[in-house]
């Protein structure tokens, strides 16, 4: 038996999502067609859109389906995000230093128009630094990109406080809610964001579906990234992926319905996992432990133990973990998030739990981790 503890990379498909997708695969009809089959497909897409939009606190017309969070980031990160068609282009993108690579690229902002906002040692955005940057750029139109929760450490970011600072300076804030939706309360009211984006497969839906949503209908993007048939209100061309969208909506519904209970359950399992780590490696340090964290996420460093060595050894023992972001083509890299936190060692092991995680999985982890820790310590002693 293997224990899959890497839900922040991707979550196993929920049964409800699979059922919805299989039903959609049996249907025939392009959502843009005017015949009965097309109208049925359109109705299913719009029902899914309304359901997801309501769950994050906006109206259906403000939500755009995409192929995932990365495409959504590419679409929204543009100087031409506007409230009025007469607005001048945005001058500067400020991005939290711990943002996902999909945001740090800046996309349609020129590289010299992107600045990083430092993190505090606990892995949250420095509001003091943000305030200083806004003051230094008070004559420029600012866009802040800040994730709701960090994918590597689980640190929940001060989005609402950051949004208040940015809005007071006349700017806009977008929020990468990929890790937060379905795990903690993530709405426009809770985050203060002007736009949110997130992905299906972190919720237990299929990969290849995501959403970009605006807080209100006044916000728009001057130029679409994908241009063609005018789907998604002209904001994203391409025939809608009906099975993926319906699987996305089904997973979103279950995640929202079970969120409170799951947060409590996963928080308990995370506590047990961290106890197991401490028992076998007492010097271990848990990152962002002083900050609010996602209830499912634990990132830790072991003194004298390389994270990638632990990762491979635990994989051989049947435990699937990560060293951070899974979006680097399978490569193990030093973490820019940990570097931004001021840590000398920029590798950590990340355990992330989810709907399919049981106490048995955590117990299996504890047994495997104890064996691996014993072997590594024995080698260190012999050396």
Cα–Cα distance for residue pair 77/109, rounded to 1 Å: 7
Backbone angles phi, psi at 95, to 5 degrees: -130, 135
Q: How many CB atoms lie within 10 A of CB 306?
A: 16
Nearest to 81 by CA among 193, 245, 200, 210: 193
Backbone angles phi, psi at 27, to 5 degrees: -80, 155
Between the alpha carbon of residue 106 and those of residues 90, 174, 235, 270, 292, the distances in Å are 13, 13, 19, 34, 27
Catalytic position from the list 327, 332, 339, 367: 327
Residue 175 is among the residues annotated as catalytic for this protein: no
Cα–Cα distance for residue pair 312/362, rounded to 1 Å: 18
> At CB < 8 A and 24+ separation, what contacts does 336-340 make?
336/97, 336/98, 336/104, 337/97, 337/98, 337/119, 337/123, 337/150, 337/152, 337/153, 338/152, 338/153, 338/287, 340/97, 340/98, 340/116, 340/118, 340/119
Classify the phi-psi angles of 223: left when phi > 0, otherwise alpha if psi is within -120 to 50, otherwise beta. beta
Catalytic residues: 327
């Amino acid at each position: 038996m293997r224990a899959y503890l890497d839900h922040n990379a991707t979550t196993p498909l929920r049964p409800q999502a699979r059922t919805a997708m299989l039903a959609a695969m049996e249907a025939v009809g392009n959502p843009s067609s005017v015949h009965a089959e097309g109208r049925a497909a359109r109705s299913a897409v719009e029902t899914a859109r309304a359901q997801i939009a309501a769950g994050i606190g906006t109206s259906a017309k403000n939500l755009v389906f995409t192929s995932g969070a990365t495409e959504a980031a590419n679409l929204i990160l543009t100087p031409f995000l506007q409230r009025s068609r007469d607005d001048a282009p945005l001058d500067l993108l400020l991005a939290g230093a711990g943002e996902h690579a999909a945001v740090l690229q800046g996309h349609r902002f020129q590289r010299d128009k992107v600045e990083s906002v430092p993190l505090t040692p606990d892995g949250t955005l420095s509001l003091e630094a943000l305030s200083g940057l806004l003051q230094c750029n008070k004559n420029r139109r600012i866009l802040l990109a800040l994730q709701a929760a960090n994918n590597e450490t689980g640190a929940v970011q001060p989005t609402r406080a950051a949004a208040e600072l940015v809005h007071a300076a006349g700017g806009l804030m977008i929020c990468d809610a990929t890790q937060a939706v379905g795990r903690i309360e993530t709405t426009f009211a809770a985050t203060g964001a002007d736009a949110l984006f997130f992905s299906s497969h972190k919720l237990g839906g299929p990969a290849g579906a995501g959403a970009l949503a605006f807080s209100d209908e006044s916000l728009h993007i001057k130029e679409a990234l994908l241009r063609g048939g005018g789907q998604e209100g002209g904001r994203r061309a391409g025939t809608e992926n009906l099975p993926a969208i319906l699987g996305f909506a089904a997973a979103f519904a279950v995640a929202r319905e079970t969120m409170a209970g799951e947060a409590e359950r996963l928080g308990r399992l995370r506590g047990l996992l961290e106890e197991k780590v401490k028992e076998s490696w007492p010097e271990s340090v848990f990152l962002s432990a002083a900050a609010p964290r996602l209830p499912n996420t634990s990132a830790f460093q072991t003194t004298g133990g390389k994270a990638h060595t632990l990762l491979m050894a635990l994989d051989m023992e049947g435990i699937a973990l990560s060293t951070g972001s899974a979006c680097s083509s399978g490569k193990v890299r030093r973490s820019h998030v940990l570097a931004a936190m001021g840590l000398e060692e920029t590798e950590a092991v990340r355990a992330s739990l989810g709907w399919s995680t049981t106490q048995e999985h955590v117990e299996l982890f504890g047994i495997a981790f104890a064996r691996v820790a014993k072997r590594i310590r024995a080698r260190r002693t012999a050396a």
